[in-house]
Each structure stands twice: as C-alpha cells, then as structure tokens.
C-alpha cells in the first residue's frame, strides 16, 4: 500500500515537472479569460493589440510562479477566481504565450 502511494506521488511530481500547470485545462482557461474580460485593462494600457501585454519584450512574467502570482493579482480585481480557475487560465496563457516547460 505504502509503495503504491509513494509511486503515485513520484509519478505526480514527474508530471508536474513536465508541465507546470498540469492540473489546468487551456480550453477552459481561454473561456474564463474571455468571460472575465481579462484583456479589458491590458488593451487600454498597451499599444499593439489585445495580446501585446503577453508578448511585449519587457513583459513581467518570467516563470510559472510569476504567471500564477500575476493571475491571482489580476483576478482579485473583479473576477474572483477559484484556485482551479486560476490554474486553467495559467494553462491557457502558458500554452498560448509563455511556453514555460
Ligand atoms: C483592473 C485592470 C486589470 C484586469 C481586469 C486584468 N488585469 Fe492583468 N494586468 C493589469 C496590469 C496593470 C498589468 C501590468 C502589471 C505590470 O506591468 O506590473 C497586468 C498584467 C498581467 C499579466 C502579466 C503580463 C506580462 O507582463 O507578462 C498577466 C499574465 C495578466 N495581467 C493576466 C490577467 C488575467 C488572467 C486577467 C483576468 C482574470 C487580468 N489580467 C485582468 C491589469 C488588469
């Protein structure tokens, strides 16, 4: 029993290494991103189209941890996301823009 638990845990951590937001679903993340109008502020701030904030040369997010923290910060403004929703959005933004491994 114990061996199985340990094996399962090591497999889970391997999966976490392979994909930083393994528990998130990019498709649901995109839907949440649109539903909560996440780009409403970003577009007003930055020239260059709705996604420019994620692709600008001096973007702020440099790691999966940065991405999770920024989504938490932005989400707290109005969207009031659950941890699972934050994970979905992380997975979406990572897949579409940041490409952290
Ligand atoms: C009330 C305005 C506002 C809303 C709404 C908002 N953001 Fe932001 N967002 C900002 C600001 C301001 C920054 C830039 C922070 C900086 O440059 O330090 C930012 C930056 C970001 C970044 C980092 C971009 C980079 O430089 O790498 C991410 C990721 C992000 N927002 C995600 C989201 C998500 C997801 C949502 C929707 C849940 C959201 N934001 C909604 C204001 C907002």
What local confidence, expressed as pLDDT, does residue 95 receive? 96
Is the distance from CB of 64 to CB of 101 less than 8 angstroms? Answer: no
Q: Of ligand 1's atoms, which has the minimum distance to the CA of residue 45?
A: 12
What local confidence, expressed as pLDDT, does residue 72 receive? 96
Q: What's the length of the chain? A: 101
Q: Is 49 left (phi over 0), alpha (psi -120 to 50) or beta?
A: left
Contact residues for 81 (Cβ-Cβ < 8 A; gap 6+): 32, 36, 71, 72, 75, 89
Residues with CB under 6 A from ligand 1: 33, 36, 38, 40-42, 45, 53-54, 59-61, 67, 70-71, 74-75, 77-79, 89, 93
Over residues 14-57, the pLDDT tens digits come to 555 568 999 999 999 999 999 999 999 999 888 888 899 999 99
Q: Of ligand 1's atoms, which has the minimum distance to the CA of residue 56?
A: 26
CA atoms of 89 and 1, how far apart (whole Å): 35
Over residues 78-96, the pLDDT tens digits come to 899 999 999 999 999 999 9
């Amino acid at each position: 029993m114990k061996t199985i638990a340990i094996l399962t845990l090591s497999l889970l951590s391997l999966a976490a290494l392979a994909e930083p937001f393994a528990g998130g679903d990019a498709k649901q993340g995109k839907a949440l991103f649109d539903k909560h109008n996440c780009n409403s502020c970003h577009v007003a701030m930055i020239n260059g189209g709705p996604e420019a904030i994620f692709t600008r040369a001096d973007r702020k997010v440099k790691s999966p941890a940065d991405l999770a923290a920024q989504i938490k910060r932005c989400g707290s403004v109005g969207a009031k996301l659950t941890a699972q929703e934050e994970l979905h959005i992380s997975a979406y933004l990572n897949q579409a823009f940041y490409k952290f491994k």
